[in-house]
Amino acid sequence: MRYFWLSFKAVFIKDIVTELRARQVLPTMIVLGVLIVWILRMASETASAGAVIIGPVSLWIAILFSGLLAQERSFATEQQQDCICGLLLAPVDEGTIYLSKLLVNVVMLCIFEVIIVPIVVVAFHLDITAHRPALIGVLLLGNIGLSSVGTLFSAIVELTRTRGALLSILVLVILMPMMIPVTFALLAIFNGIDDELAGTGALAFVGSFKAAVGYMVAFDAIFVVVCWLLFPFVVKE
């Protein structure tokens, strides 16, 4: 157990220090996130649905696409100087490597959200005073879900030197089931769900906020465990 914590901590700190020193990922994520929010803010001027619906949706889209940038970098650093070989040569369980990189990705997304959420709140005139803990919880669950799948597929894409935007399609297709509960939860937090809309049209959701959060917890738990178990098969030659 002690050895697990030592190696977990070592990989986690190494990745965080590398990312903060390189200063490549976070600025790119923030710029992309702001651009997405800006575009949707402009589009919402013409839409009758209003800020309480487009605002939370733009937040989730920004997190998703900026998050993919962070996932790409997960294993790009290990590709330099064949560092992944250095990790695999050490007597470290591959699952430990996966869990530390997962935590690094979650932390990067959290840092990103600390910056992007106020921007969205200001741009769309949203009110989050009543539901801050719920928002933090939902975003954290979203981060874990995105990172669990993104870390595994980032290893696949980077370590096999596959060209093209494969990471985006791999992650997004697996995350499709998460989209509905997350959107529902965010809309509920920002009071975007009108009683009049309930039960009709594309924005109508059945079920409750608790059910959406419960689904997200289940999704995260299942995919973290499954990806952790499958990770050794991906990194070995």
Partner 1 sequence: MNDIAINIDSVSKAFGTRLVLKNINLAVAARQSVLLCGVNGAGKSTLLNIIAGLLQPDRGSVSLSGCNINKYAQRAKSQLGVILHKPMVYPELTVIENLSFFADLYGVKKSSDRINELLEEAGIWAYRNDRAGILSHGLLQRLAIARALVHSPKILLADEPFTGLDTGACEHLISILTNFADNSGTVFMTSHDTHIGLRCCKRVLVLDKASLIFDADAGDVDAAAFSRDFVAYAGGAE
Partner 2 sequence: MRRILLLAAFVLTLSSMWIALTLGTVEGPPANPESPVRNIIYIHVPSSIFALFCFVALLTGSVGYLITSKPGWDILAAASAEVGAIFAIISNLTGSIFSRAEWNIWWTPSPRLIFTAILLLLYIVYLILRSSLEGSARRKARICAVFGIVAFIDVPMVIISARFIPDIHRPGFSFTSSWQRAAFFLSMAAMILLGSLMISLKAEILRSKARLEEQTFS
DSSP string of 159-199, one letter each residue: HTT--SSHHHHHHHHHHHHHHHHHHHHHHHHTT---GGGTT
Residue 124, binding choice from partner 1, partner 2, none, Cβ under 5 to 8 Å by partner class: none
Closest CB to partner 2 among 33 and 67?
67
Q: Are 101 and 108 in contact (CB under 8 A)?
A: no
Q: Determine, following the binding rule CB under 8 A, whether residue 180 of this chain makes contact with partner 2.
A: yes
Helices (H), 80-131: 83-89, 94-123
Judge whether 224 and 144 are in contact, CB under 8 Å: yes
Cα separation, 60 vs 45, in Å, equals 19
Q: Does 163 bind partner 2 (CB under 8 A)?
A: yes
Residues that bind partner 1 (CB under 8 A): 3, 6-7, 9-11, 14, 17-18, 21-22, 77, 80-83, 85-93, 236-237
Contact pattern from residue 103 through residue 142 relative to partner 2, giving x for each residue in contact according to CB under 8 A and a dash for the rest: ----------------------------------------
Q: Return the one option of partner 1, partner 2, none that residue 221 interacts with (CB less than 5 to 8 A, by type).
A: none
Q: What is the DSSP string of 51-72?
A: HHHHHHHHHHHHHHHHHHHHHH
Say whether residue 224 binds partner 2 (CB under 8 A): no
- Assess 223 for contact with partner 2 (CB under 8 A): yes
The one-letter code for the residue type at 166 is L
Q: Which residues bind partner 2 (CB under 8 A)?
A: 149, 152, 156, 160-164, 166, 169-170, 173-174, 176-181, 184, 199-200, 202, 204-207, 211-212, 215, 219, 222-223, 226-227, 230, 233-234, 236-237
